[in-house]
Copies of this chain bind each other. A is one copy, B any other.
Amino acid sequence: MPTKKKPQVTPTPERRRELLATAAEVFAAQGYNATTVRRIADEAGMLAGSLYYHFDSKESMIDEILSTFLDELWQGYDEVLAAGLGPRETIEALVTESFREIDRHRPAVAIYQKESKHLATQPRFAYLADSQTKFEKAWLGTLERGVTEGVFRDDLDIRLTYRFVRDTVWVAASWYRPGGHHSPEEIARQYLSMVLDGIALRT
């Protein structure tokens, strides 16, 4: 049995991550279907066929991009949900965590928003649908708990509220640019302020 050794020039998994990062950037900008593997290879400074040394298909690229993102997302979410916070504090923590994920995985989030809906129908991407179910359970459950505990309004359609909060947070990935005026935490703070208290001046 030959001894495992570290690669020589560029470590293999690092190169993989580099390529996935550029692929994600192009996917997010142009859309998955509109992106050719030649374009990705171009951006990475190589030829189309060479990509197939690292990945076995274009589909497996977006697969790895999305699953990596979701894994990290749920790592953060599960931590929040396990902390045993009150409903309002849970929502605050989830929103903050979400903006941190957008900061870290902006291209992946953008891809997820645009493509997950019709990708989820394919068996390979079943985990997208699973994640969405789990997502809804977490957020909707927290909102319902907040209503029964009297911290959230009870005169609103709760599912409408859920979609409202969910969308307001995640669409931010379409305009957010890392290194902008506000940090993820500051954006989260202002968004939470708007969602919880509204934009109208209280009289």
Contact = CB atoms under 8 A, between A and B. Distances in A.
Nearest to A201: B153
Interface string A140-168: 00000000001111101100110111011
A138 interface: no
Contacts of A167: 167-168, 171-172, 174
A199 interface: yes
Contacts of A172: 163, 167
A119 to B, nearest CB: 10
A193 B31 contact: no
Tell me if A's interface is mostly helix, strand, loop or mixed.
helix
A49 B177 CA distance: 43
Contact of A114 (B114, B165, B168): B114
14 contacts: A30-B118, A31-B31, A31-B33, A117-B174, A150-B201, A152-B200, A153-B200, A160-B190, A163-B175, A164-B199, A165-B199, A168-B168, A195-B199, A196-B198
Interface of A: 29-34, 88, 114-115, 117-118, 150-154, 156-157, 160-161, 163-165, 167-168, 171-172, 174-175, 181-182, 187, 190-191, 193-201
